[in-house]
Amino acid sequence: MAEEVKLLKTWSSPFGLRAFWILKLKGVQFDFIDEDLSNKSPLLLQSNPVYKKVPVLIHNGKPISESLVILEYVDETWKQNPLLPEDPYERARARFWAKFGDDKVLASIWNAFIKQGKEQEEAIGLAIETLKFLEEELKGKRFFGGEKIGLPDLALGWLANLIGVFEEVIGVKLIEKERFPLLSAWMQEFAEAPVIKESWPPHEKLVTKFRAIREPYVAAAAQPK
């Protein structure tokens, strides 16, 4: 009996891209639906009643939500092309960097993206300090997963795309090649990997979207206090 695999995502979500990437890297046959989050489908609401957000992976009728959870589920379910190492310590480290990406890297860069003036300067400084940990982790490595793309690369892969979008919108360079040579090289190589390269959302469309997202924060900062 053929397996039924369906992915609910949006065209622009970096979290949905993670799930898309791992399914492609594993060679899993699947269908995907790009949700309109302003008019969420009954399938999305039924599949993720707790958070009501994407991504959701539906495997033989069983829904799995949260992108990092989906990555591990797919890696455990389809054994080919493993993205987590066999060694328990190395697996733990891979999970650590994946979580660090969401908890620290994404949070700090988003803060720099939405802030204004002196608050933005401080936020950029904190983001740069956070990125230094990634630069250090890449020493002697081609990818965070070693010589091939691993789970932390998929978790951090949004950097290879959205950093450029954020930099264009705010007019500030966050990842300079001179300061982050290893991270810059990783971003370029990851972005050009065949499965990754063919799935990037249109750059200009992303710039338009995130400029619109940022506008209310800019307007709020301009209000007299």
Q: Is the per-residue pLDDT at 27 higher than 80?
A: yes
- pLDDT value at residue 65: 98
R_g of the chain, CA atoms, integer Å: 18
For residue 82, tell me if it sits in a domain: no
Let me know: does 9 contact 32? Beta carbons within 8 Å.
yes
Reported as a single tens digit per residue, the pLDDT across 103-158 is 999 999 999 999 999 999 999 999 999 999 999 999 999 999 999 999 999 999 99
Cα separation, 48 vs 64, whole angstroms: 8
Same domain, 99 and 71: no
| Structural domain range at position 171 | 88-222
Residue 222 has pLDDT above 90, yes or no: no
Question: Which of 35, 57, 77 lies at the terminal end of a domain, its last residue?
Answer: 77
**pLDDT for 198 beyond 70:** yes
pLDDT-above-90 percentage for the chain = 95
Residue 146's φ and ψ, nearest 5 degrees, are 110, -125
pLDDT score of 223 more than 90: no
Say yes or no: 117 and 190 in one domain.
yes
Residues 61 and 135 in one domain: no
Portion of the chain with pLDDT greater than 70, in percent:
99
Q: Tell me: pLDDT of 78 over 90.
A: yes
Mean per-residue pLDDT for 56-70? 98
**Judging by beta carbons within 10 Å of its beta carbon (0-12, 13-18, 19+), is residue 31 exposed, middle or buried?**
exposed
Note the pLDDT of residue 224.
74
DSSP sequence for 31-97: EEEE--TTS--HHHHHH-TTT--S-EEEETTEEEESHHHHHHHHHHHS-SS-SS-SSHHHHHHHHHH
Residue 163's pLDDT is what?
Answer: 97
| Res. 225 pLDDT band, cuts 50 70 90 | low
> How far apart, in whole angstroms, are the C-alpha atoms of residue 150 and residue 75?
10
Q: Is the predicted pLDDT of residue 1 greater than 80, yes or no? A: no
CB distance 45 to 10 below 8 Å: no
- 194 and 115 assigned to the same domain: yes
User: What is the domain count for the chain?
Assistant: 2
Q: What is the mean pLDDT of residues 67-91?
A: 97
Q: What is the pLDDT of residue 207?
A: 98
Shared domain check, 59 and 18: yes
Query: Are 140 and 36 part of one and the same domain?
Result: no
CATH number, domain at 119?
Answer: 1.20.1050.10
